[in-house]
Amino acid sequence: MNILSYPKEKIINGLNNARNKNIQKGAKILFSPVEINDENFEEVCEIYSSVMPGNYETVVVVEGVNHELEKKIPLPSLNTFKTPFGEVPVNDRLRNEFCDEEDDFFIDDEAHNENMGIYQQLPMLQFTIKDFNVVSIQISNYERPSIIRELAFVLDEVLLSKNVLIIVCCEMESDQIEALNKLKKYVKEGQTSNLLNIINVSSTKIRGRSPFLIGLMIASSWELSLNFIDEKYQSSEIYSLISGFASLRSK
């Protein structure tokens, strides 16, 4: 069973229990599983407890698709996204701003479907932030590095001064500890080429590899503190090693 079948009380209680653990607050980027279900719900609540309610006007959700896209970076044309808990409006002005920045951004429904990760994330947001709007962005998980860098650059430039939260939909299987440690090393040392290589090799099992890499690039550019819950915020069983968040560094 996934989150779209949950009663609101289950989501509210899960978030309240996670907040009681005194997790770090003020997230700017969330790394959240593509699907939220019984296996990872506790883990996802820990991630979302890092969000400060009322601190964000817009949420930008970036997710991958497992095929090549005709429009390299499509943004669905919907005016609202609907979940069992209500409708969330789209920030049309910001969506158009993205499309004005680069030629590879298009308002297009090529990648939109009811199984998208945004529909999994919105119920968590509806009981965390409550009053917000959203922009949905898709990119192929097999996209070439130049397009990945382009999307990361535009998000960096356009969103840096805005009151936003970025969610990247991604998962990494729990048996990938060695690969995760290499990823952390390359992120810390700013080794982008090695980072691309380790993420793109077939032995590294990441669902949503393009969004994950984009999230890492923005976190590095914004000099955010990267926290995966396999470390300080470990659940009893880890579903995804890259579940976590990036927040402003403590002064």
User: Which residues, listed in sequence order, are joined to residue 248 by a DSSP beta bridge?
Assistant: 224
- Which run of H or of E encompasses 15? helix 8-19
251 pLDDT above the threshold of 60: no
pLDDT by residue (tens digit) across 122-157?
A: 999 999 998 999 999 999 999 988 999 999 999 999
Mean pLDDT of the chain: 90
Whole-model pTM: value is 0.94
Confidence of residue 30 (pLDDT cuts 50, 70, 90): very high
Domain boundaries along the sequence of the chain: 3-248
Residue 56 corresponds to which amino acid? Y
**Residue 234 confidence (pLDDT):** 57
Structure tokens given for 246: 């990036």
**Is 204's pLDDT higher than 90?**
no
Instruction: Report CA-CA distances (Å) from 210 to 83, 116, 146, 191.
Output: 25, 15, 11, 17
Look at residue 41 in the predicted model and tell me its pLDDT.
Answer: 95
Q: What is the pLDDT of residues 205-250, one digit of tens each?
A: 889 999 999 999 999 899 999 888 866 665 556 788 899 999 987 6
The proportion of the chain whose per-residue pLDDT surpasses 90, expressed as a percent, equals 67
pLDDT of residue 232: 62
Amino acid of residue 116: M
The per-residue pLDDT for 22 is 66
SS (H, E, C) 65-103: ECCCCCCCEEECCCCEEEECCEEEEECHHHHHHHHHHCC
Pairing of strands 171-172, 206-207: antiparallel
DSSP string over 150-176: HHHHHHHHHHTTS-EEEEEE-EE-TT-
What are the CA-CA distances from residue 121 to residues 2, 15, 44 (Å)?
11, 13, 10
Portion of the chain with pLDDT greater than 70, in percent: 95
Q: For residues 135 and 218, what is the distance between their CA atoms, to the nearest angstrom? A: 17
Among 91, 34, 100, 35, smallest CA distance to 73 is for: 100
Give the Cα separation of 199 and 54 in Å (integer): 34
CATH class of 3-248: alpha beta
Residues 6+ apart with CB under 8 A from 193: none
Please work out, in degrees rounded to the nearest 5, the angle formed at the alpha carbon of residue 32 by the alpha carbons of 56 and 249: 55
